[in-house]
Amino acid sequence: MPALYLIPVTLDETPLDQVLPSHNSEVIRSIRHFIVEEIRTARRFLKQVDRDIDIDSLTFYPMGKHADAALFNQYLEPLRQGESVGVISEAGCPAVADPGADVVAIAQRQGLKVVPLVGPSSILLAVMGSGFNGQSFAFNGYLPIHPSDRAKRLKQLESRSAAEQQTQLFIETPYRNAKMIADILSVCQPRTRLCIASGLTTENEYLRTLTIKEWKQQPLPDLGKTPTIFAIYAR
């Protein structure tokens, strides 16, 4: 049965066979229409999946930040006509903190079949490796940039974590990773635990959980511009 397939990609230059099941490749080879966050990287990913794939025979529909969301419904026309369509994000799982969610919402409203495929999610991997509550957690995206607004938001997340025993996750633009760590250490309580999960599934993976007090007592990791998930847990 034709479906909207949500196709995960690697989080970085990780070999495909380390993080993606072979079933995904079989599905990809059967699809001729792809809704993608960035056409160039999607084409490169598909070539990694199968060097013999005829890229020029495929149709790509953009859903990135400059795409016209009003066109998303039209992108699903092949599916309504009986052809499967794939959704590919820039990294990890599409439709999770990703514009693919808008495409999936349209498909669900129209009763179209949606099939999420297995693949790496930095959010879930961070929860798994943090040692925090995996039954109740929230991903909060980017925090405010202005120092006072960021401090206020961090305190809110810390209070919510303590009140609800809920893991709070968030991200930052990679070049501001060091500033994010500094802000967390200056705002959060000494007993609050912080997990830094950076470059997950890659050769340079870094994953460590300590209390705020413990983080202050040791050299901090140099994350550079590596995509990183930050998680806090207060009790």
At 66 the pLDDT is: 81
The one-letter code for the residue type at 156 is Q
pTM of the model: 0.90
- Which fold does the domain 4-116 belong to in CATH? Cobalt-precorrin-4 Transmethylase; domain 1 (3.40.1010)
Segment of 9-18, 69-78, 151-160 carrying the highest mean pLDDT: 151-160
Enumerate the domain spans of the chain: 4-116, 122-233
Average pLDDT, the chain: 94
Residues 60-75, mean pLDDT to the nearest whole number: 88
Q: What is the DSSP string of the chain?
A: ---EEEE-B-SSS--HHHHS-HHHHHHHHT--EEEES-HHHHHHHHHHH-TT--GGGSEEEE-STTS-GGGHHHHTHHHHTT--EEEE-SSBSTTSSSTHHHHHHHHHHTT--EEEPP---HHHHHHHHH-S-SSSEEEEEEPPSSHHHHHHHHHHHHHHHHHHT-EEEEE--GGGHHHHHHHHHHHS-TT-EEEEEESTTSTT-EEEEEEHHHHHTSPPP--TT--EEEEEE--
pLDDT digits (tens, 9 = 90+) for 143-155: 999 999 999 999 9
- The answer, yes or no, to whether residue 156 has pLDDT greater than 90, is yes
Residues 98-112, mean pLDDT to the nearest whole number: 93
Residues 204-218, mean pLDDT to the nearest whole number: 96
Reply yes or no on domain 122-233 having CATH 3.30.950.10. yes
Residues 4-30, mean pLDDT to the nearest whole number: 91
Q: What is the dihedral of CA 48, 51, 57, 62, to 10 degrees?
A: 10
pLDDT digits (tens, 9 = 90+) for 125-149: 999 999 999 999 999 999 999 999 9
Nearest-5° Cα angle at 59, 43 to 24: 55
Q: How far apart are CA 106 and CA 125, in angstroms?
A: 28
Percent of the chain with pLDDT over 90: 83
- The answer, yes or no, to whether residue 165 has pLDDT greater than 90, is yes
In the structure, what pLDDT confidence band is assigned to residue 160 with cuts at 50, 70 and 90? very high
Residues 104-112, mean pLDDT to the nearest whole number: 96
Of 44, 28, 46, give the one whose Cα is nearest residue 84.
28
pLDDT digits (tens, 9 = 90+) for 23-51: 999 999 999 999 999 999 999 999 999 89
